[in-house]
Structures are given as structure tokens and as C-alpha cells.
């Protein structure tokens, strides 16, 4: 019995969900505040210090916001193209496992260093790539582990190029 490990799609390594857009909006708001502070009638000592740097900071923040928006858009585009080609399959949860790694960690920090795993039955497409593989080990969060606790199966979305690159139904 051989167990393979799940691989994550490339876009998940750079996926900040809405973080890219949120940071971009914040930067644009700050740059507008910098520009407005240059033209305000009330001048404080801090305004006079910030006044020469305001245009530079504002332009820098706008450029950074554009770069961050661009990164978010490229990740979104990559994610969308991956899902267009992804194949959906239902697989059985063979085993659930909670791993406590280091007992010294728990005594020092006051809580255990835990990892949660689901062992899924290999789907036919995975068996074609690695015939001896009977299951696939998937590391999940505690939330996901508890979510799948009462279930016997899960839907996965996998890449036809490499069926070991997949996402669980709640990771979409």
C-alpha cells in the first residue's frame, strides 16, 4: 500500500484572496490623503515636514497599488484558467489523522504543534499515473478536518495534466 502526497496548484502559493485588492485600495486612499495634505490651508509642523515628500510618497503608493492590483488580477486569471481545465471527482475518505509533532513545543508554548490529515482513496486518473498508489495524503486545517469529520467522501477538483495537483471542494 503506497500513499502519495497532494500537490497544490501554483496559483495557491500566491493567492491572497482579496488581500491584493484590499492593500491596493488602502494605498490609493493614503496617496489621496498625501496629495490633499499639500493643499490644505491649515499647516502644522508635521505638514511642513511631510509636504516635500508627499508627492513622492503619493506617486510611489499609486505605483505600488497598480503593481498589487496587477498581481491580484494575474492570480485571479491563472486561477480561473486552472478551474476551466480542472476535472471534478468524488473520492472516499479512507482515514483521518491528527499528528502532534513535538512534545517540547507544547510544554514551551502551552499548546501542541498539531497537523491534520485526510487520507483519500486514489481516483482512477491518479492510478494511471502511479499504479501502486492506493491513497493520497492531504494536509488540511483544523476547520476542514472538523468539517469533514462526519463525512465519508469529498469532491476534489484536479488537474488533468497531473491528477495529484488538486483542491478540495471547500478550497475553491
Could you report the per-residue pLDDT of 130-167, keeping only the tens digit for each? 988 999 999 999 999 999 998 999 999 999 999 999 99
| Percent share of the chain, pLDDT over 90 | 37
Could you report the per-residue pLDDT of 38-55, keeping only the tens digit for each? 666 666 666 666 666 666
Phi then psi for 27, rounded to 5 degrees? -65, -40
| Per-residue cell: 5 | 502526497
Supply the pTM of this predicted model.
0.70
Could you report the per-residue pLDDT of 75-104, keeping only the tens digit for each? 788 888 888 999 999 999 999 999 877 777
**What is the C-alpha separation between 50 and 28, in angstroms, rounded?**
17
pLDDT at 168: 94
Place of cell 475518505: 93
* pLDDT reading at 113 higher than 60: yes
Judging by DSSP bridges, how do beta strands 133-140 and 114-121 pair with one another?
antiparallel
How crowded is residue 47: how many other Cβ atoms within 10 Å of its Cβ?
13
Mean per-residue pLDDT for 116-130?
Answer: 93
pLDDT at 109: 76
**Residues ≥6 apart with Cβ < 8 Å to 12:** 167, 171
| Per-residue cell: 102 | 513535538
pLDDT at 34: 67
Q: Sheet holding 166-168: strands in order across?
A: 2-5, 133-140, 114-121, 87-100, 153-158, 166-168
Amino acid at each position: 500500500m503506497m500513499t502519495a502526497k497532494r500537490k497544490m496548484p501554483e496559483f495557491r502559493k500566491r493567492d491572497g484572496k482579496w488581500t491584493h485588492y484590499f492593500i491596493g485600495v488602502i494605498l490609493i486612499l493614503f496617496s489621496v490623503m498625501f496629495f490633499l495634505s499639500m493643499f490644505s490651508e491649515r499647516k502644522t509642523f508635521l505638514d511642513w515636514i511631510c509636504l516635500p515628500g508627499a508627492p513622492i510618497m503619493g506617486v510611489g503608493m499609486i505605483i505600488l497599488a497598480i503593481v498589487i492590483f496587477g498581481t491580484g488580477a494575474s492570480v485571479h486569471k491563472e486561477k480561473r484558467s486552472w478551474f476551466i481545465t480542472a476535472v471534478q471527482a468524488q473520492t472516499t475518505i479512507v482515514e483521518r489523522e491528527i499528528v502532534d509533532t513535538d512534545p517540547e513545543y507544547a510544554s514551551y508554548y502551552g499548546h501542541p504543534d498539531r497537523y491534520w490529515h485526510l487520507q483519500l482513496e486514489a481516483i482512477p486518473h491518479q492510478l494511471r499515473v502511479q499504479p501502486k498508489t492506493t491513497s493520497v495524503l492531504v494536509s488540511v486545517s483544523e476547520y476542514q478536518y472538523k468539517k469533514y469529520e462526519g463525512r465519508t467522501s469529498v469532491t476534489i477538483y484536479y488537474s488533468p495534466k497531473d491528477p495529484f495537483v488538486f483542491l478540495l471542494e471547500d478550497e475553491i
